[in-house]
Amino acid sequence: MDNRPVIFHDSGIGCLPYALFFHSRNPGEDLICVADRENFPYGQKTKEYLVDALTSLTEKFISLYNPKIYAIVCNSAAVSALPALRERFPGLPIVGTVPAIKPAAEASKTRCIGVLGTQRTISDHYIEELRIKFAPDTTIVGIAAPELPEFIEHRWLDADEAERLDTVKPYIAEIISKGADTLVLACTHFVLLKDEFRRAAALYGSKENELMIFDSVEGISRRVEFLLDENDSRLRSGEGGWQKVPLKITGDGEPDTAWKNIAAHFGVAAEKL
């Protein structure tokens, strides 16, 4: 029995759908969401910057919370810093989020896969490594959408359905025009627009070439659960878990009204880290 928390960490609110999905399946586990307001957005940072920033944050997590598992629910952070963090902190199981190329390839009929992410993720060689490993017969159409995380952080909560749909339409139109029949959401923030991506796909696609959309929410939960259950479930908690999941926010000052409103929307408590 191990009552230490599991940490889900992103540059912003992208951690919330991942953490809350995990919480819905594992209500007995304590977990903490961390939104790194201080270093947002990750997708526009260099690899070296992210390695340094995440190393410092991980040291802080260990000092404050002594987590039993650390899930990096950010593609940009994972593709940049995951190997360095695992080497630096060998005693801490670290789960990294990577683009869902494998399931997209298994579903694709046109053998053309769209990948939508930040500039840091799209430009990283890891995308090509995943293609070679899981789908060598496919073509990857990678599109960077650096403004979407900003939109989700600052406009998503207040935007109506029409504005959200208009925001994603150009990306769906481009993906479909290039022959892709699958789209990988390679930024955890984008999961919050998944319904809009699906509606846009229905507008631009066809029944013969229906665009299927993939993310890593369930995959991350399954991986954390695997780590909890291995070795006779020695990391599993025996307690009741948090009644209200905390969202810890880095940076100076208390969370402003926008952050508190986002936290309230998801039923979590926004607190300064």
What amino acid positions are annotated as catalytic residues?
A: 74, 187
The H-assigned helical ranges of 66-204 are 75-88, 101-107, 119-122, 126-134, 147-154, 161-177, 194-204
Q: How far is CA 127 from the centre of its chain?
A: 15
List % helix, strand, coil for the chain (3-state, nearest 5): 50, 15, 35
What letter represents residue 117's amino acid? Answer: G
CA–CA gap between residue 209 and residue 176 (Å, rounded) = 9
The answer to whether the beta carbons of residues 130 and 98 sit under 8 Å apart is yes
Sign of the C-alpha dihedral computed for residues 78, 84, 86 and 88 taken in this order: negative
Q: How far is CA 82 from the centre of its chain?
A: 14
Task: Extract the tokens encoding 44.
Answer: 């526009």
What counts of helices (H) and strands (E) characterise the chain?
11, 10
CA–CA gap between residue 90 and residue 124 (Å, rounded) = 24
CA–CA gap between residue 138 and residue 140 (Å, rounded) = 7
